[in-house]
Amino acid sequence: MKITHIEHLGIAVKSIEDALPYYENV
């Protein structure tokens, strides 16, 4: 479960990092 939780968190963080530059450009 820990691995799954870490993977999920990593995906969420990656998604946020990908979204931040988009909002900053807008």
Is residue 13 pLDDT above 70, yes or no?
yes
Which pLDDT score is estimated for 3? Answer: 60
- Sequence-distant (≥ 6) Cβ neighbours of residue 6 within 8 angstroms: none
- Whole-model pTM over 0.75: no
Which pLDDT score is estimated for 12? Answer: 77
Q: Provide the token pair at 11.
A: 């995906």
What is d(CA 3, CA 26) in angstroms, rounded to the nearest whole number? 35
User: In what helix (H) or strand (E) does residue 24 lie, and over which residues does it extend?
Assistant: helix 2-25
Chain center to CA of 7: 10
